[in-house]
Amino acid sequence: MVKIAFLLLLVGLGWVAADLGDITGLEHSGPYLLLSSLLLAIGLYGSTHGIDRTEARQHGRLILLAVTVGVLLKAAFIAGVMYVVTGDPRSMILAIAVAQIDPLSVAAVMADNRLSSRAKTILGAWSSFDDPITVILAFYAVSLSRPAEGGLTLAYLADLGLNAVFAAAAYAVWRLIRNAPPLLSYLAAATAIVSAAWSSLMLGVATAGLYLRIPDSRWLSRAVTAAFALSAFLMGLLLVGGASLMKGLLLGLAAFAAQMLAALVLTHGLPVTDRVHLGLAQQNGITAVILAVAFEREFSGFVGVIAPAIVTVNLLYVVANRIADSWGPYRPLPSSSR
C-alpha cells in the first residue's frame, strides 16, 4: 500500500505542476524522448543486474517458458479482452505495456516465507527477464503498427543485430575490467546505460546487466528508485489531459487475470501454495510507467489508460494476496520444497 500511495502522490504532483504551469505538448520534445529512454535503460539494467545466475539455471526451462510463452500468452489474453470490450486499436500495445511483473516489487516480498525458495527463484528471474522481453515486444509492436513502414523488415533484424553487438561489447569490457578497481565497473555500467538510451538498444543493456555488475548494488537501487519517481512525475505531467478510468480498470483486471492464467499453464508440478502465489504475483511498476511515458508520443492518451491500470493491478495484488494468506495457514514453507 505504501508503494501505491507513493505512486499516486508523485503522479498527483506532476498533474498539479502541469496544470499550474500550463504545460502541454511535453511528449513531442526531444529532451523528453531522451529522458524517457534513459529512465527505461536504468530500469532494464537494474532488473537484470540482480539475477542470481546460478539459481536461475536450476529452473532454466520454466523461466524460459515464462518469459517467452508466458509473456506472449499474457499479452494475447489482455489484448483480446481489451479489443473485444473496447475495440481500441491500441489494445496490443496497451497489453504489452502491462504484461510484465515489476522486479522491484517482487524483491520487496522475497524476505517473507509465503513462497518456497524454489518459487522465489522462479519469480525473481521471471520478473527480471520479462521486463526486457516486453520492452522489445512493445517497441516492435509500435513499429508494426505503422503501415507506411511495411511491417517487419530487414531494419528490425538489423536492430536485433545491433543489440547483440552492444551486448558483446559490454561483455568484452567486463572481461577487461572485472579485476580492476571498482570505479571502472561503475563507469562502465553508467556508460552502457547512457549509450543504450542514446541509441535505443534496450535489449543490449538488459543483457549487459547479467554480467556487467557493480560492486555495491545499493547505488543501483537508488538510481532505479529515482528513475521510478521521475517517471511517475512525468506521467502526472502527461495526465493533465485527463484519464480513461474505465479502460484503465479493464486493462488492470485483464493483466491480473492473465498472470493467473499463465501461472496455471506454466507451473504444473509445483506445490499448490507456490502455484497460487505465483498466480497472484502480478505487479506493475517502473517498466509499465516508463513505457507509458515513452509511448505517449506515439499514442495520445496512452498514459491516461496505463496510469489507472497500474493502480488497479497493484490494489488487486494487495487484496488477493491477503485473502490467499487468510485462506491458507500462514507458515514457513520447508526448505526441502526445492
pLDDT in tens, 318-327: 899 888 877 7
Comparison of pLDDT for 32 and 334, the residue scoring more: 32
Residue scoring higher pLDDT (50 or 225): 225
Asked whether residue 335 carries a pLDDT value surpassing 50, the answer given is no
In the chain, % of residues over pLDDT 90: 23
Q: Which one-letter DSSP state was computed for residue 239?
A: G
Longest dimension (CA), the chain: 59
State the cell numbers at 188: 562502465
pLDDT reported for residue 84: 96
What are residue 22's phi and psi, to 5 degrees? 55, 50
Residue 169: what pLDDT?
Answer: 94
**For the chain, what is the mean pLDDT?**
82
Binned at pLDDT 50, 70 and 90, residue 259 comes out as very high
Please, are residues 243 and 308 in contact by the beta-carbon 8 Å criterion?
yes
d(CA 101, CA 320) in angstroms, rounded, equals 16
Query: Mind listing the domains of the chain with CATH numbers?
Result: 2-16+26-326 (1.20.1530.20)
pLDDT above 80 for 253:
yes
User: Distance between CA 184 and CA 169 in Å, rounded?
Assistant: 15
Give me the pLDDT at residue 195, please: 93
Rounded to two decimals, what is the model's pTM?
A: 0.78
- The dihedral formed by the CA atoms of 53, 321, 11 and 199, expressed in degrees to the nearest 10: 20
Distance CA 50, CA 218 (A): 11
pLDDT for 61 equals 80
pLDDT for residue 150 = 47
Identify the residue with better confidence: 48 or 108: 48
Q: Which residue has the higher pLDDT, 139 or 96?
A: 96
- Indicate the pLDDT class of residue 334, thresholds 50, 70 and 90: very low
Contact by Cβ (8 Å): 13, 235: no
More confident residue, 112 or 33: 33
Digit-coded pLDDT (tens) for 270-300: 888 888 888 998 988 778 888 888 788 788 8
Q: What is the pLDDT of residue 1?
A: 62
When pLDDT is averaged across residues 93-115 and rounded to a whole number, the result is: 76
d(CA 205, CA 60): 21
Q: What is the average pLDDT across 246-254?
A: 96
| Weakest mean pLDDT among 70-79, 100-109, 251-260 | 100-109
Across the range 193-217, mean pLDDT stands at: 87
Average pLDDT over residues 83-107: 87
For residue 139, what is its C-alpha cell? 517497441
